[in-house]
Amino acid sequence: MSRPARDSVLRLIRLRLTDFRSWPSLDAAFTAPIVAIAGENGVGKTNLLEAISLLGPGRGLRGARMGELGRRVVGGARPWAAAGRFDTPDGTFDLGTGSDPEGASDRRVFRLDGQPVRTQSDLADRVAAVWLTPQMDRLFQEGPSGRRRFLDRLAWALEPTHARDVAAHDNAMAQRNRLLSQGRGDTRWLAGLEDAMARHAVAATAARRALAMRLNAVMSSGSATGAFPAARMDLICPIATALAEQPALAVEDALREALATDRRRDAAAGGAARGAHRADMTLVHLPKDQTAEFCSTGEQKALLISTVLAHAALIAEARGFAPLLLLDEVAAHLDSARREALFAALAALPAQVFLTGTEAEVFRPLRGVADIFEARHGNLLPVGETGSP
């Protein structure tokens, strides 16, 4: 297996951690487009992927709060930091995040080449990451919020302003919910919040819909997914349905009027019945013409892999760089044929991939293609050609 061309790939070439989760310190260099990390359960493999995910916008692959990220010591958690050096076709840049070193804020701070970053959405112009974790094996058995987060991570990588639209919609909705719960009937104030909700809901839904249409074109062709099943992403969202039939301004007007009509009902229910927060999605296994919730666990995993492989190829074409793929324990749940198909597909992608697993032997087919490491408590050791650190 030979290495793919790397001249257009966004690559993380150095990762430094200080008091992050179980890692007192780490300074690791990566040279390959695929990085495989083996190690026993509990040695911090997922923590490494989480640190990488935090170098982009959002709360990372665990959705953790600030207080959960610092290394635990007697008396509490220590201040923490994660920093990455990225190589791009236009040169390198350094991106860091962590606790406020001056202790003036309890929010996560960012530095880009040593300078403060104003908003997280600015990071999406530089870095994007998509991940699969064992917890996502139940994505299609649980509620829609997890599927919506997955959908939005994919959309952010295609349209960086999507994060701002989702946040603005949710902020306006929270204020409207608070006014309604307090019985405050300032119609002009409510109308302003409903106008913001409608505008940002339609913009966010348009981004989700554009992602689904472009992603479906890639997934149906099978050009990026190899032996994994052709799939289709379906949005379950009244706003998306309306956008397929009407201009965006007409959909905004209708949603604004509906929110005004719904005030009494929403006050009684404790939340808005309409908006971008009501969206859901599913994946369809095209060869079987079956939605994901009715597929086996293995088929659902294969559909998710198809999605992230197609997404990486789509973003590489649309933005000039593919998102980092963070695949936690994904190979262990595949049979040998699917595992080989996965490795072949990853090697052909224009994306850098980080894989974890409990056994280094699983990654044997990647020797010569990947940087392979063994994670031990507090250490990341390169695995040589013999399979030993």
Tell me: the pLDDT tens digits for 241-279?
A: 999 999 999 999 999 999 999 999 999 999 999 999 999
- Pick the closest to residue 52 from 88, 24, 28, 78 (CA basis): 28
195 & 91 share domain = no
Asked, for residue 168, whether it belongs to a domain, the answer is: yes
18 & 154 share domain = no
Dihedral sign (CA 299, 305, 308, 309): negative
- Pick the closest to residue 253 from 210, 209, 201, 211 (CA basis): 201
Decide if 293 contacts 282 (C-beta within 8 A).
Answer: yes
CA distances from 174 to 177, 183, 263, 314 (A): 5, 14, 13, 34
Give the domain-ending residue among 252, 285, 312.
Answer: 312
Asked, for residue 139, whether it belongs to a domain, the answer is: no
21 & 119 share domain = yes
The amino acid at 385 = E
Asked, for residue 141, whether it belongs to a domain, the answer is: no
Give 139: exposed, middle or buried? Use CB within 10 Å, 0-12, 13-18, 19+.
Answer: buried
Asked, for residue 189, whether it belongs to a domain, the answer is: yes
Give the domain-ending residue among 312, 340, 357.
Answer: 312
pLDDT level of residue 6 (50, 70, 90 thresholds): very low
Mean pLDDT of the chain: 89
Q: What is the pTM of this model?
A: 0.85
The amino acid at 167 = A
- Pick the closest to residue 12 from 371, 358, 369, 342 (CA basis): 371
88 & 177 share domain = no
What is the domain count for the chain?
2
308 & 200 share domain = yes
214 & 253 share domain = yes
Asked, for residue 137, whether it belongs to a domain, the answer is: no
134-138 contact pairs (CB < 8 A, 24+): 134/328, 134/329, 134/333, 136/304, 137/297, 137/300, 137/301, 137/333
Higher pLDDT, 43 or 100: 43
For position 266, what pLDDT does the model report?
97
13 & 58 share domain = yes
For position 316, what pLDDT does the model report?
83
217 & 361 share domain = no
Note the pLDDT tens digit of each residue in 67-84: 889 888 877 678 899 999
User: Would you state the structure tokens that stand for residue 44, as one six-digit string?
Assistant: 């911090």
Domain of 93, CATH number, reads 3.40.50.300
pLDDT at 5 over 50: no
Task: Kindly report the number of other CB atoms within 10 A of residue 94's CB atom.
Answer: 14
Decide if 145 contacts 136 (C-beta within 8 A).
Answer: no
30 & 58 share domain = yes
For residues 327-341, give the mean pLDDT.
84
202 & 285 share domain = yes
- Pick the closest to residue 54 from 138, 9, 120 (CA basis): 120
Cα 262–Cα 265–Cα 271 angle in degrees, nearest 5: 90
Note the pLDDT tens digit of each residue in 336-386: 888 888 998 888 888 899 999 998 888 988 988 899 999 988 889 998 654
Dihedral sign (CA 74, 376, 53, 359): negative
First to last CA, the chain: 22
Q: Which domain holds residue 87?
A: 1-128+321-389
User: Would you state the structure tokens that stand for residue 375, as one six-digit string?
Assistant: 């994670």
For residues 328-340, give the mean pLDDT.
83
Give the domain-ending residue among 283, 312, 341.
Answer: 312
Asked, for residue 143, whether it belongs to a domain, the answer is: no
296 & 382 share domain = no
Asked, for residue 140, whether it belongs to a domain, the answer is: no
The DSSP code sequence of 125-158 is GT--EEEE-GGGGGTTTS-HHHHHHHHHHHHHHH
pLDDT level of residue 388 (50, 70, 90 thresholds): low
55 & 189 share domain = no
Q: Is 91 left (phi over 0), alpha (psi -120 to 50) or beta?
A: left
- Pick the closest to residue 280 from 150, 148, 142, 159 (CA basis): 148
Cα–Cα distance between 338 and 354 in angstroms, integer? 18
Asked, for residue 176, whether it belongs to a domain, the answer is: yes
Domain of 162, CATH number, reads 1.20.1050.90
